[in-house]
Amino acid sequence: MAYATQDTTRAQSGLGNRISAFVEGLRENAARRRLYKQTMSELQSLSDRELGDLGLSRSMIRRVAWQAAYEA
């Protein structure tokens, strides 16, 4: 007697893996956005003198925050 089976686990796991990767990407992007916003906020709250002590000027804040969040 022969049995016919259909293997759908690969298709389902492939879709599940893609969905998991998509959700993980969303979480990672949200974490990077939070880090960018937090870095911007903290640097903007510093005085010009404090920024100077760090070797930064006010015009560099956006770039430094971007590098901290997206290039690290």
pTM of the model: 0.74
Of the pLDDT bands very low, low, confident and very high (cuts 50, 70, 90), residue 11 is: low
| pLDDT tens-digit readout, 26-65 | 999 999 999 999 999 999 999 999 999 999 999 999 999 9
Helix ranges, 1-72 (H) = 9-44, 48-53, 61-70
**What would the mean pLDDT of 6-28 be, rounded to a whole number?**
82
Instruction: Tell me phi and psi for residue 71, to 5 degrees.
Output: -110, 0
- Domain ranges for the chain: 31-72
